[in-house]
């Protein structure tokens, strides 16, 4: 912790005391929930709310210069820059995989095996697991896989809410497990855990859960068949299959303990070379000039643009979060909870509870992790809880609420994606329907509770 931050924690105060410090967060939470339930398409719709919350905090702050410095300090944290870099590179890899026909290749494989509607729903979950594991992004998985797989499953007669839930569940799989996932990176680095061993430790949670979920999607879809629409065909294309080696390569690098930048940059380079050599990625996609409009065009530019919304949302929100630290509220919470954490089980329960409250308050998984990172580290170290264990607890709780509740961005995005079925006369589903059928998040909730209870019995 820097001297500047320590100074902020001691001196930043608000009119109204604790209520004044929390009021901007209440404004933010109310605004985000209102916009989300009203159909805000992405994080850009939340920018005005965050600016309003920061402005409210400025008006309530007794020392507005110190408040402004605190906001900037929160935005400029090194781990925030790590996350922004990871988003830009992972998003670019996601665009690369889409441009080279990776999803179409997976769809082709499913069609070659002649799956029924129920079988296709189960395969949709598997495909989205692969996409999310490959891109490390739940958003990219929904945006890449949803427009292809949702209409295809609807045409085959799959139950639509279950199908949407399968896509969302596959996106959740990679968000929790992928080495290049922002959730994995933030939870591991914030607890001083190495990414490779952290990913390995999650195998025992996520793989058995995925194996259980596959037949659940199959039999639920089989028991609730929809209307088959004859004459439509989304056959896919096998030409993109060689690109499967790129996510495998990136995962291999991370499991070997390579640095985040090392793995992502080499993976992107390998993808560009392989795509160009195989003819899947034309040179014009890598870089071309639009002289009439005075601009350059590239899949890399598109990838970075896709990360813009989440990046500025995070920057602004981390500045707002820092004001809570500056007011001393977070420090008092750490002290209060640490005094009541007299065993590893109690410490783990407080970490899980704090992570849950943070994600419900901020509506942002990564900001929630960063918000409680110091609390989780101090509380966990006091009871000698392994850094990987702490990282896993944080990832579990932030992969539950945002993928179940209808006012979080992943669920809203999934519901909006189901509009891709309208040209095929396939109805869309609501955020509530999509979230309720995300059985990976329900499973992670059960695993989290069971893990804490098992720790209790072990004590």
> Mind listing the pLDDT tens digit for each residue in 241-258?
888 788 778 767 766 767
78-87, 156-165, 335-344, 400-409: which is most confident: 156-165
Beta strands per DSSP E along 172-294: 288-290
Buried b (16+ CB within 10 A) or exposed e, 75-110: bebebbebbbbbbbbbbbbbbbbbbbbbbbbbbbeb
**Under a CB-based contact definition with an 8 Å cutoff, are residues 437 and 161 in contact?**
yes
User: Which of 139, 136, 141, 137 has its CA nearest to residue 126?
Assistant: 141
Query: What mean pLDDT do residues 110-116 have?
Result: 74
131-135, 162-166, 184-188: which is most confident: 162-166
- Can you give the pLDDT at residue 9? 42
What share of the chain in percent tops pLDDT 70?
A: 87
Q: Quote the CA–CA distance of 422 and 437 in Å, as a whole number.
A: 21
Q: Quote the CA–CA distance of 191 and 201 in Å, as a whole number.
A: 15
Query: What mean pLDDT do residues 305-318 have?
Result: 79
123-127, 177-181, 182-186: which is most confident: 123-127
Residue 430, beta-bridge partner list:
none
Give the count of beta carbons closer than 10 Å to the beta carbon of residue 326: 32
DSSP at 61:
B
Mean pLDDT of the chain: 81
pLDDT band at residue 311 under the 50/70/90 scheme: confident
- Can you give the pLDDT at residue 440? 94
Q: Quote the CA–CA distance of 133 and 113 in Å, as a whole number.
A: 23
User: Which of 172, 220, 174 has its CA nearest to residue 438?
Assistant: 172
C-alpha dihedral (262, 268, 274, 280), degrees to nearest 10: 170
For residue 7, pLDDT over 50 is answered with: no
- Can you give the pLDDT at residue 58? 92
The structure tokens listed for 270 are: 């390998």
Q: Quote the CA–CA distance of 282 and 300 in Å, as a whole number.
A: 13
For residue 228, pLDDT over 70 is answered with: no
108-117, 334-343, 423-432, 438-447: which is most confident: 438-447
The structure tokens listed for 78 are: 């090194």
> Mind listing the pLDDT tens digit for each residue in 42-52?
567 778 988 99
Query: What mean pLDDT do residues 32-36 have?
Result: 75
Query: What mean pLDDT do residues 187-198 have?
Result: 86
Q: Quote the CA–CA distance of 171 and 173 in Å, as a whole number.
A: 5
| Domain ranges for the chain | 77-311+327-458
Query: What mean pLDDT do residues 338-353 have?
Result: 78
**Under a CB-based contact definition with an 8 Å cutoff, are residues 147 and 422 in contact?**
no
pTM: 0.70
Q: Quote the CA–CA distance of 217 and 364 in Å, as a whole number.
A: 28
Q: Which residue has the higher pLDDT, 232 or 229?
A: 229
For residue 459, pLDDT over 50 is answered with: no
Residue 297, beta-bridge partner list:
288
pLDDT band at residue 338 under the 50/70/90 scheme: low
């Amino acid at each position: 912790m820097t001297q500047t931050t320590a100074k902020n924690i001691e001196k930043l105060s608000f009119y109204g005391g604790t209520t004044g410090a929390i009021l901007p967060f209440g404004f933010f939470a109310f605004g985000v929930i209102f916009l989300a339930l009203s159909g805000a398409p992405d994080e850009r719709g939340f920018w005005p709310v965050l600016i309003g919350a920061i402005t409210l905090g400025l008006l309530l702050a007794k020392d507005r210069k110190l408040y402004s410095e605190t906001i900037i300090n929160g935005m400029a944290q090194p781990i925030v820059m790590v996350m922004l870099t990871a988003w830009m590179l992972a998003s670019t890899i996601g665009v690369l995989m889409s441009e080279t026909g990776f999803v179409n290749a997976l769809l082709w494989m499913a069609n070659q095996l002649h799956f029924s509607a129920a079988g296709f729903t189960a395969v949709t979950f598997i495909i989205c697991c692969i996409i999310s594991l490959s891109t490390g992004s739940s958003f990219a998985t929904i945006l890449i896989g949803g427009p292809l797989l949702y209409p295809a499953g609807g045409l085959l007669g799959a139950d639509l809410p279950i199908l949407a839930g399968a896509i969302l569940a596959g996106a959740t799989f990679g968000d929790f497990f992928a080495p290049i996932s922002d959730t994995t990176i933030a939870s591991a680095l914030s607890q001083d855990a190495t990414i490779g061993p952290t990913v390995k430790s999650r195998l025992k949670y996520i793989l058995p859960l995925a194996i259980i979920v596959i037949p659940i999607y199959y039999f639920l879809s089989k028991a609730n068949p929809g209307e088959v629409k004859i004459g439509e065909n989304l056959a896919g294309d096998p030409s993109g299959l060689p690109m499967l080696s790129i996510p495998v390569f990136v995962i291999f690098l991370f499991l070997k303990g390579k640095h985040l930048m090392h793995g992502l940059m080499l993976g992107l380079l390998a993808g560009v070379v392989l795509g160009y050599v195989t003819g899947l990625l034309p040179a014009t996609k890598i870089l071309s000039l639009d002289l009439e409009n005075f601009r350059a065009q590239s899949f890399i530019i598109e990838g970075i643009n896709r990360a813009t919304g989440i990046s500025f949302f995070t920057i602004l929100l981390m500045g707002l979060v820092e004001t809570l630290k500056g007011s001393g509220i977070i420090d008092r919470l750490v002290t209060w909870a640490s005094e009541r954490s007299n065993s590893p089980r109690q410490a783990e329960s407080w970490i899980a509870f704090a992570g849950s409250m943070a994600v419900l308050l901020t509506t942002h998984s990564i900001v929630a992790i960063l918000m409680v990172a110091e609390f989780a580290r101090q509380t966990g170290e006091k009871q000698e809880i392994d850094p990987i264990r702490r990282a896993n607890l944080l990832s579990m709780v932030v992969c539950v609420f945002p993928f179940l509740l209808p006012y979080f961005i992943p669920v809203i995005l999934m519901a909006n994606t189901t509009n891709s079925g309208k040209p095929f006369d396939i109805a869309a589903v609501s955020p509530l329907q999509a979230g309720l059928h995300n059985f990976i998040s329900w499973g992670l909730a059960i695993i989290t509770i069971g893990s804490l209870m098992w720790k209790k019995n072990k004590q």
